[in-house]
Amino acid sequence: MPTATPAVAAGIKGGMPPSKTVLVTGVSRGLGRALALELAKRGHAIIGCARSVEKVQALQSELMAVSPDASSSSSASPPSKHLITHLDVRSDSAVRELAKLIAESRRVPDIIVNNAGTINKNNKIWQVPAEEFDIVIDTNIKGIANVLRHFMPLMIEKKHGIIVNMSSGWGRSAAAEVAPYCASKWAVEGLTKSVAKELPPGFAAVSLSPGVINTDMLASCFGSSAALYQTPETWAPTAATMILSLTVEDNGASLTV
C-alpha cells in the first residue's frame, strides 16, 4: 500500500483535507466568483479567468485576503498561490497560452470547473440576432471544449482529475425565449457524457446544474423576481463541498447542487 506524502499525512492528522488546485472559468462575477472565494477560504489554490480586467484584479486581492495562510506570511508581499487572469474562453489561442503558463509553473489543476457562460436576451429564436446566438454557443460550448483541449493532456500526465461542466435546469428541460441557452446547455450535458466515456482511469467528468440562483443571468430572464432566489454567496458553500467530494465513481453523472 502506498504511503501518504508528509503534506497529505499532516492534513489527514489535522483533520484537514489536502489542498487542491482548482481551475474556475468565469470568475469575475456570480457563481464563479462566489465559488472561487469559498474554495480559497478552505485553503485551496485557485486558477481563474474572466473577461473583465478590473474584476480580475480585484478578485486576485480578495482571494489573497481570504486565504487561511494570508495572515501567517512574514513577507510584506508574499507570492500568491492563486492565479487570476484576463481571458476569454472563446479564444482557443488564449486558453492554449494559459495552459502553457500553468504547465510551466507546475500548477496543473486537480479540478476544473467550466463555469463561464452567458445567455441570450429573452426572444423568440427567429428574433435572436445571429451574432448573439454565436456568443452563447461559442462561450457555453466551445469555451468548454477549448479548456478541455488544452488542460486535459496536462491532467492526464498527473493521472487524476475531476471535470465539472456547469449545466442548467434548462439543459434538461426547456423554456420559451431562451432557445440558444437551452441548446447550449443540452449540448453541455451530451458533451460531458461523451467525454466521460473517453477519460482514462482516475478521472471523472460530470455536468452540474447549480439550481436557480439570483445571478445577473437569472435577472435577465426573470426580472425583479430573481431576487426571490438564493444568492451565489449562499449557494457557494454547498456547491464547494459537493465539488470537492466528487470521485471517479461520479463519472458521467448529471448532478444538481
Sequence-distant (6+) residues with CB within 8 A of 86 are 49, 50, 51, 52, 53, 56
Which of the four pLDDT bands, split at 50, 70 and 90, describes residue 228? Answer: confident
Q: Which residues of 9-28 are buried (b: 16+ CB within 10 A; e: fewer)?
A: eebeeeeeeebbbbbbbbbb
Which residue among the candidates 133, 151, 170, 181 is catalytic per the annotation?
181
Q: Nearest-CA neighbor of 148 among 107, 210, 205?
A: 205
Which of the four pLDDT bands, split at 50, 70 and 90, describes residue 7? Answer: very low
Q: Nearest-CA neighbor of 161 among 195, 190, 188?
A: 195
Which of the four pLDDT bands, split at 50, 70 and 90, describes residue 102? Answer: very high
Statement: the pTM of the whole predicted model exceeds 0.75: yes
Verify whether residue 181 is a known catalytic residue.
Answer: yes
The residue count of the chain comes to 257
Give, in order, the Cα–Cα distances in Å from 152 to each of 40, 53, 58, 104, 198.
23, 26, 29, 15, 11
Which of the four pLDDT bands, split at 50, 70 and 90, describes residue 219? Answer: confident
Contact 139, 97 (CB under 8 A): no
SS3 193: helix
| pLDDT per position as a tens digit, 40-52 | 999 999 999 999 8
| pLDDT per position as a tens digit, 145-193 | 999 999 999 999 999 999 999 999 999 999 999 999 999 999 999 999 9
Query: How many Cα atoms occupy the beta-carbon half-sphere of 198 within 13 Å?
Result: 12
CA angle, 48 then 53 then 54, to 5°: 105
Give, in order, the Cα–Cα distances in Å from 101 to each of 49, 112, 161.
13, 16, 19
Which of the four pLDDT bands, split at 50, 70 and 90, describes residue 201? Answer: very high
Which residue has cell 445577473?
216
pLDDT at 213: 86
| pLDDT higher than threshold 70 for residue 78 | no
Give, in order, the Cα–Cα distances in Å from 133 to each of 46, 60, 160, 177.
31, 31, 35, 12
φ, ψ (nearest 5 deg) of residue 115: -100, -25
Q: Nearest-CA neighbor of 168 among 220, 113, 226, 115?
A: 115
| pLDDT higher than threshold 60 for residue 69 | yes
Q: Nearest-CA neighbor of 111 among 20, 214, 231?
A: 20
Residue scoring higher pLDDT (214 or 135): 135
| pLDDT higher than threshold 90 for residue 74 | no
Give, in order, the Cα–Cα distances in Å from 35 to each of 31, 56, 98, 114, 175.
6, 14, 20, 12, 27
Mean pLDDT score of the chain: 90
| pLDDT per position as a tens digit, 106-124 | 999 999 999 999 999 999 9
